[in-house]
Structure formats: structure tokens, C-alpha cells
Amino acid sequence: MNRAVYPGSFDPFTNGHLDITQRGATIFDELIVAVLINESKTSMFSVEERQMMAREAAVHIPNVRVLSFDGLLVDFMRKERSRVILRGLRALSDFEYEFQLAQMNKQLAPETETFFMVTDAKYSYLSSRGVKEVFQFGGAIHEFVPPGVFRRMRERVPPRGVR
């Protein structure tokens, strides 16, 4: 079985992440969305919440599973018997970081291959960080995130003005 892992912080899961997940699921037999338990990063949502939101958003895709991991991605890959890391690329600015990460993972686990999927143009500006910033300043975010994420964000921070 050709199983790929799509790792990320997903804080929160956006429509850009969903697009990569949907497209990835048509290429690989199984796609594991792997939510990073990032203790050092201050995240808006707990790992359980991030997982739940991703799961809700991808519920209609039968060959997608949402799990969490901490520590090294390559250890998680071995545990899940996957050799393919799926990552999304938005702009040239993503490239340097992604390139380093891919090389580092290759060094750590030569059997792994990183596959990049280029963002759909309509999501090229979309990032979790951008969504959080717009939201915190009262901007409308419903078109950037799946409905379940929108609901949870509104629960987290009571609406201020029109959202």
C-alpha cells in the first residue's frame, strides 16, 4: 500500500490544507494527516482540537486518517510504515525552509521521499498564521477555513463587530 504522511502544525486547518489533503488522497492509497504536538510553539489550539478540526474537515475522504505525533517525523513515518512525506508549496518563500527540511529528513531516513504539491492559486495567500491574525482583528475568515474551524474559532474568541 502506498501510504503518505502530510505533516504540519495545522493551527488551524485551513482550506489550503484541505485542498492538499483532498488532492493527496487521490494520488496515494492512504494519506495520514499528522498533527505536530509542538510543545515549544505556542499554538492557538491544543493538539486534540487541531486533530478534531482536521478530522471533521476531511470526514468525506475515506482514505484519510488524522493522527498526531511528537518527536522526529521520520520515527513516526517508520512506525506508520510510510516512506512518503507530502508537503505543500505556496511561494518561493516556502521553498528554502521546505528544501532544508526535506534534505534533513533524507539524511535522517534515506528511505523517505518528500513530495511537494503546489498550492491551488486560490489558496496561495492562505496560511494558518494569516487566518489567526485576520480573525484577531475582527476580519471575516469564513471563506478561508472549513465550517468546523470557523465555528471553533468563534467559540474561542467572541465575535467583535461583524464577522
Residues involved in catalysis: 17, 41, 90, 128
Any idea what DSSP says for residue 119? P
d(CA 95, CA 106): 16
- The contact pattern for ligand ADP, residues 72-91, with x = CB under 6 A and - = no contact, is ---------------xx-x-
Report how far apart, in Å, the C-alpha atoms of 95 and of each of 7, 43, 88, 92, 100 are: 16, 23, 10, 5, 8
The footprint of ligand ADP on this chain (CB under 6 A) covers a number of residues equal to 16
**Of these, 31, 53, 128, 149, which contacts ligand ADP (CB under 6 A)?**
128
- Choose among 10, 6, 12: nearest CA to 80: 6
Binding of ligand ADP by 45 (CB under 6 A):
no
Nearer to ligand ADP, 22 or 127 (CB): 127
Supply 15's cell numbers. Answer: 482550506
Interface residues with ligand ADP (CB under 6 A) are 8-10, 14, 16-17, 20, 87-88, 90, 94, 119, 123, 126-128
